[in-house]
Structure 1
């Protein structure tokens, strides 16, 4: 998946306030955060269950976790 697609999906998963903060970061940092978000979605079993119920909720939770981990 091209980095732009991943970044766009990551940005869409963020709440409005976080989206603006991440948008202000350099492109390389946005790509790094999006990659961490993708890894979170792929590796967390808890998110797998949530994804089955609500994919947007799982994506938003993974984005929140990435930012809470100090990546943001």
Structure 2
């Protein structure tokens, strides 16, 4: 299991997004991973989901971060 923020973020992504983000610059990966960590830290709904399934909470936070990037 990845322990660095970028590795954890990439793991939380679905395979298609993981490939696309992995192909991008490291700085962009780090920026997205930081946004993902903020999402996990600040969203109370994700706290509830995290109690049931940490992986699902991380995946949902990743979807939200990418959704904001694409908007």
- How big is the shift at 1:24? 1.0
Tell me the distance in 1 between the aligned counterparts of 2:9 and 2:48: 19
Alignment partner, residue 37 of structure 1: 36
User: Hey, what does 1:21 align to over in structure 2?
Assistant: 20
TM-score after normalising by structure 1: 0.91
Match of 2:67 in 1: 68
| Residue segments in structure 2 that go unaligned for 5+ positions in a row | none
Distance in 1, Cα, partners of 2:64 & 2:54:
15
Q: CA deviation at 1:63?
A: 0.2
- Aligned-partner Cα distance in 2 for 1:11–1:70: 15
* 1:10 is the counterpart of 2:14: no
Relative to the length of structure 2, the TM-score reads 0.93
Unmatched runs of 5 consecutive residues or more in structure 1: none
